[in-house]
Amino acid sequence: MSAEPTEQNLTLKSLRNNLNISQEELARRLNLSFRTIGEWEGGKKMPRFDNALALARELGVSLKTLAKAMRLDIEGIPDDIAQTGSHLDNE
């Protein structure tokens, strides 16, 4: 198995390689074309939100980690743990 991606080398490709799966295999699991995976990895396109959810689930990472791997600015985005007393507690 590949070494765990570090903060500096975290990419969509490194997350996929860490699981030892090809673009073709990941595409099959997500019911997409391998070309789509390549476009995401190359930064040419970004996944729709539903595909981002499926991708994060398949790679076993949070959406925040996926966003980091795709070089999106996540500054100011809170962690996934809801704080006590937040508006989410009332839903």
Residuewise pLDDT in 10s, the chain (91 residues): 455 666 678 999 999 999 999 999 999 999 999 999 999 999 999 999 999 999 999 999 999 999 999 999 999 998 877 655 555 555 4
For residues 23 and 30, is the Cβ–Cβ distance under 8 A?
no
- Which tokens belong to 54? 């499926």
What single letter denotes the amino acid at residue 14?
Answer: S
- Contacts of 70-78 with CB under 8 Å at 24 or more apart are 70/12, 70/40, 70/43, 70/46, 71/43
- Alpha-carbon distance of 87 to 34, in angstroms, equals 40
